[in-house]
Amino acid sequence: MTRFTSILVAMNFASRHAVRRAASIAAQHEARLTLLHVVDPFQAGRWRTHSTSSVIKQQVAQAHAVLGGYASELADWHDVHVRTEVQVGDSLKRVRAHAHDADLVVVASGRKRVEDLFFPTVVERLSRRLRTPVLVVKRRVQGRYLKVLIAVDFTRTSEGVVQTAMSLASSARIHLFHALSSHPAERLRADVPPALVREYEDRDRRNSTHRLRSLAGSLNPIRVDVSVEHGHPVPLTLQAQERIGADLVVMGKNGRSAIADFLLGSVANRAVSEAPCDVLVIPAASAPRHVTGARSTGQSDAVPLFGQHQRRSAS
């Protein structure tokens, strides 16, 4: 299981829920907690009525005061030692530099604006660039996580993603979910009888359900449920979250480039944007690599993200 020994909160002045969630996790794992606020000179330079240097000094002083208040509050409530740091520079670069020494980065979800449809938010940029798990906090903290939905894609890091999630929410009920792509079946519909298409989909569903149950059995089957659905992963994941009342959604993040994410979108990025609850994004680089559901022949049955199946020759 993953052990969280160092937690970093990438701060803004609307991060109260994120700070409290991070403190709760730090207390649970006896982890070090660092609150980092970065004053961006470019943003400070937008103030036309004041010099940039005076605005930066004012924002640095304000940040020290806010972070100091949080540190005192958390020491009283959670008995957690908190380190605070205020820096001036590019927010993403400074957070990335500090994240190298952290096991978890916690951020508050930013409000979506019209320009965010064309330019990624800081949260989305962090989830793309960091090699450390990123917890995006959207809700007020009401105790530990109780129900966790984990989107499983059957890649080599799937078991590591599940283990990381179970370490973070050690007392929660776990629901493993897999979204099967409907594209292979759609390609069959033109010249294949509907009954055969349904048989194909049922077979895929049974195979995926079996693999999820095998994964659950290797962990803690007492508190793990599984489900499989056909369709696009984002709406299906959101529907599953609403159906089970999950207060945390967990997703792995593949190693695709930032430009590919910009042009094609990302399942994880869309989930971060659209999910109503907290979201934990675990990059492939940070998850232990295992092959889940391998065949007895030693061959992996892993498929690309969310059931985008490869054709297999008939045996």
Mean pLDDT, consecutive 10-residue stretches, the chain (315 aa), reads 87 87 93 93 62 85 93 84 92 90 89 43 70 91 94 89 91 93 58 75 90 85 86 92 96 63 60 90 69 36 35 36
pLDDT for 1 equals 61
pLDDT for 185 equals 52
pLDDT for 300 equals 35
pLDDT for 299 equals 35
pLDDT for 273 equals 84
pLDDT for 138 equals 92
pLDDT for 186 equals 54
Domain ranges of the chain: 1-138, 144-315
pLDDT for 85 equals 95
Please tell us whether the domain made up of 1-138 is placed in CATH 3.40.50.620.
yes
pLDDT for 267 equals 77
pLDDT for 41 equals 84
Class of domain 144-315: alpha beta
pLDDT for 77 equals 79
Cα separation of 93 and 163, whole Å?
Answer: 29
Give yes or no on whether 1-138 and 144-315 have one common fold: yes
